[in-house]
Chain A
Amino acid sequence: MNLPFIDWAWRTRGAIAIDPPLTTEETFARLKPLVDEDSTRCDYGDNTLTYVKGNPAAQDRLATFSRGVFAVEQQGGLTRLLYDVKSNALALVLLAPLFFVGFAQIAVAINHWEDRKAEAVEAKGEKAGDEEEKEPAPHHWIDEALGAPAPETLEQKKARMEQEGEQKKEKLPTTPSYVLAGLFVALYLLGRFLEPYLFRRTLRRALDLELAETADSPAETLEPGHAG
């Protein structure tokens, strides 16, 4: 789906100069560790490489930008790798706050409905809601001897709640939903700037043949007690 005015939110483009110059085949060969996974579909054109990662592994280096196009440009004896990639994860994280704000609205509606139900019961003269709170049991003598503060009496609790202005307990609290929406906004902003930077750094390392060295570490030497 093409959304040209807003796709900057989950799309990143750029170019990396390759020095010394490489042929198109050599460039794509260096990118192979990034797209050579079972879950990656690759299409090679004359000077382009299109990749789609259906369901990348957690540690896949291109897990965030899971689809895109690489193009190699040869001009005046210089080689440039152009990239144009998209991230479903960034798009979904951008939408996540809407999900949680939406859930908060559902919770508000349910709480309102619960209040109305309780009012209706009270209007009928019946006892509504929670059972009456009892005075807490006194502490065991061991706790008294060890100096644990005595349990709060109902009167003390009431006074504290009045002083702190504590609200009536809602059936479904809405604060977590709003906090989560805020966290997703913050994580989106972090990802929008961090992930393109990491993506570019990964490409540079692949082109400099640094990824081959850090590829899968050799299998552990088996010792007694190791099953493998």
Chain B
Amino acid sequence: MAGVRVGNRIIGTEAPVTVGWENVPKVQGGPWKVAFFTYFQPASLLALLAFWYYAPNSIATAQTAIIISLSFRAFLIALEFMAPRHRSWMLTWKEAVTDLFYVGMGYTVVRMMGAYLGDDVIIEAVQGAADWSKLDWFAGMPLLIQALAISLLFDFGQYWMHRGMHNWYPLWLTHAPHHYITQLNINKGAVGNPVELFLIGLGVGGFFDFLPRAALLAGTFGLAIGTYQHINVRFNTPGWWRFLFNTTEHHSVHHSQDYEASRSNYGSTWIIFDRLFGTCVDGEAEKLGMEGGRRMTISEAMHFPFSEGYNTTKQWLRAKFHKPSAVPAE
């Protein structure tokens, strides 16, 4: 495969990747259909931001956020069935239950790890050791500025953690199972080893004191933007959105079977950090996964970082200490 030059890199030599927005297909159909798939994303983002900005305190609660999040995701799953981006990514019953199991791990095992080892615990220990209080000035800023700052700060951390996972072998071992997904669907973000999901969830937000409403607004950025990175729906996403935010197109390139393409688009909600640090590739891919698209089983995903790490260490030690004996020359 010839590949396409993007900066210093050649993308798409190992698997098909479409590079450049001008080459990405657009939604075809009647005016209502085109209008829906063009304006749905910005309209729902604005509607949700307005809701959280103006909702009375009795409604602006974490419980409402959970109800909205579940309803929104259920609607997007329905949309995947109505307007799939690729038929080869259709959600089957088996894929749905597999994804749900990983979602369940996130709500149980990963949450337990977070409760005892997570960022809140680490930050509390740091604050206690250094006798720091929370940064109160943060809560005095306008709500939307607080929300933007929370979202950007978290995403900045995620960007570097994710990039680290692709560049440092011990971290890669935890992240590799996530790259064995062969299609994108709403819940695929939860697919992976619990250690990775724990690591990617670490943030520094706990150092700041912010208003609960700002946190709910920041959560909306994740829900109404970040969720689309794993969706099997084609949108006529506006250019400004694609410039600022991560999209399913960007993330499909990241999950491509092409190695060089997979080392791009590390952002979660925002793509601007990739643009800033030179890792952004605008485009899309359909053939996803590792090892030619081998589907990793749940049991393998659970032990992969440990078994693979053990095997690699064993090989490394063998190579270091058991050098092949010299063959005497005839």
Instruction: Mark A residues whose CB is within 8 Å of B.
Output: 55-59, 63-64, 89, 93, 96, 100, 103, 107, 110, 136-137, 139-140, 142-143, 146-149, 151-152, 156-157, 160, 171-173, 176-177, 180, 183-184, 187, 190-191, 194-195, 198, 220, 223-228
Contact = CB atoms under 8 A, between A and B. Distances in A.
B112 A195 contact: no
A225 B23 contact: yes
Interface string B74-101: 0000000000000010101111110011
B4 A227 contact: yes
28 contacts: A57-B182, A57-B295, A59-B90, A64-B93, A89-B94, A96-B101, A96-B104, A137-B140, A140-B141, A147-B54, A149-B56, A151-B57, A151-B212, A172-B111, A176-B107, A184-B97, A184-B100, A187-B100, A224-B23, A226-B12, A226-B19, A227-B4, A227-B12, A227-B13, A227-B17, A228-B1, A228-B12, A228-B15
Contacts of A194: 93
Nearest to A179: B107
B43 interface: no
- Among all A-B residue pairs, the 3 with the closest Cβ atoms: A227-B12, A228-B16, A225-B23
A226 B16 CA distance: 7
B54 A152 contact: no
B104 A143 contact: no
Interface residues of B, number: 58
A147 B50 CA distance: 11
Contacts of B18: 225-227
B17 to A, nearest CB: 5
Chain A CB count within 10 A is highest, among B15, B18, B140, for: B18
Contacts of B139: 136-137
A140 B143 contact: yes
B211 interface: yes
Given A195-B93, A225-B23, A226-B16, 17 more contacts: A58-B182, A59-B92, A63-B92, A63-B94, A103-B109, A137-B140, A139-B211, A146-B53, A148-B53, A149-B60, A160-B58, A180-B107, A223-B23, A226-B17, A227-B3, A228-B1, A228-B12
